[in-house]
Chains A and B, each alone.
Chain A
Amino acid sequence: MKLIIFAGPPTCGKTTVIRQVIKRMIAKELKPSYLKIDVLFADEDETIHKEFGIPTKKIYSGELCPDHCNVVVLDEAVEWAQKSGSDFLFVETAGLCLRCSPYVENSLGIVVLEATSGMNLPRKIGPMLTLADISVITKIDLISQAEREVFRYRVLESAKGIRVVESNALYGIGIDPIVTQIIKSPEVEFPMFLRGNPPVGTCTICVGKKEIGSKNHFGVLRTLEQEIFYVGE
């Protein structure tokens, strides 16, 4: 099982990139599944299931940050994907506060950024960019080539060594190199650990408990099936 985590600011084109990737994976007879983590509303699980017939699921993080939600449910999600007969689990998450990142060890972290979002974006989004393996820059058709080069420079300045892929996902341009990297990515290993140190805070994840799974955490927790429960004093 390979775990591919897609992060990026809202409306940057994550789902469009994922659709194009899924289309190519299916053409190669590979078996992806898809989990969407969002705050209040998402219907991509239904539309992607309808379009491609692959196993899909969604979870609402509600009062939690989506990245936090990701930490407490990801182990169950990988098991769910394994049981559903998939070789790949694609997780799409709308990380919001930009202090931590959703990527775990032995996975492929992909950050999706839109070319139109301003030259300072790469400096603003911290670990979501710096801890990713690939930065996919979308909507490149909307800016000039000179701006593309300068944007790319700003991405590499913040995240040295990251692989930059420029794409116009609506037309499926620049998707093949992403598929190649997904196929080459490592097998997921248990126990899973977050890549980065979360910021200092008051929750178990924020104070540095990086192991994935609700059994490793305290406070208000949940399962993949949205059962909410409390562990602690």
Chain B
Amino acid sequence: MEIRKITIIGGNGKDGSKEAVERFDLKMGDIVSIVGPTGCGKTTLINDIELFANRNTPSGRQVLINDEAVPEDFSFDPSKHPIAMISQHTNFLSDLPVGEFLTIHATVRGAENIDKILQETLDFANKLTGEAIIKETAMTELSGGQTRSLLIADAVVIGNSPIILLDEIENAGIDRTKALELLKGYEKIFVFVTHDPCIALLSDFRIVLKNGAMQRLITTGQEEKSAATEMKKMDDIMLSFRSIIRAGDEISEDILNEKMSVLTC
């Protein structure tokens, strides 16, 4: 089945009251953020999307594909599952070497040239990590950042899923600006659960959650887009400081002034 659009129809919040956002659509190429304080139900919302909730989850939400309800006993052939979810997990529990795991996953997903796709996945992941991931490493030995990078690369390259849900990508110690840049090269629906203003303002729109319910849908306007450009500069400065510290160098007053001067001009 080709997915052109999915629709989320609101259910109820934690106290049982109806959600203020009654429905919203996700179309191919959309980048959307889900924001709100910790514990407000952001992860629950993407879980509902991932499971194609049909009023059968605690939130009572319903997900439509191309305007049609998903039948009750509907389950995708896992090799064709249209949604890839990158959860907050920063640990693998699988006791397999990276290469073997990816080989099996590519096989499950019906890939033709396994070696090529495996290399492409590792290359993608290694653009996001500090230390490169090696095929022979056990999955359980990867660091948090390496795990997240590999999960994202796996979802995009091996999974090739049209819809990708990412839960707090900013917490993983990966290069998230780089990640966003790489992801934008793919025509997919991206849904970010995030606390990061840059990610939120680079999205087409954002859903605000409170007490388990969708409160508002905010479309990113021109003013916010300009704000995002300014924030990006601050972000780049922080990243450049991070690189200096990571490399074992010191930050002098000159370096500080030089980096900060970008903001005043």
Contact = CB atoms under 8 A, between A and B. Distances in A.
Query: Do A and B truly interact?
Result: yes
Interface of A: 116, 118-120, 141-154, 171-173, 176-177, 180
Given A152-B78, A173-B51, A176-B72, A146 B57 contact: no
A144 B87 contact: yes
B108 A119 contact: no
A221 to B, nearest CB: 41
Interface stretch (B19-27, B89-97, B230-238): B89-97
A168 B105 CA distance: 22
B151 interface: yes
A135 to B, nearest CB: 13
Interface in B251-265: none
Interface in B79-133: 79, 81, 84-87, 89, 92-96, 101, 104-105, 107-109
A146 B155 contact: yes
Interface residues of B, number: 33
Contact of A171 (B57, B84, B86, B159): B57
B137 interface: no
B57 A147 contact: no
Interface of B: 47, 50-51, 56-58, 72-73, 75, 78-79, 81, 84-87, 89, 92-96, 101, 104-105, 107-109, 151, 154-155, 158-159
A156 to B, nearest CB: 9
B73 A147 contact: no
B114 to A, nearest CB: 14
Contacts of A154: 104
A198 B94 CA distance: 31
B51 A150 contact: no
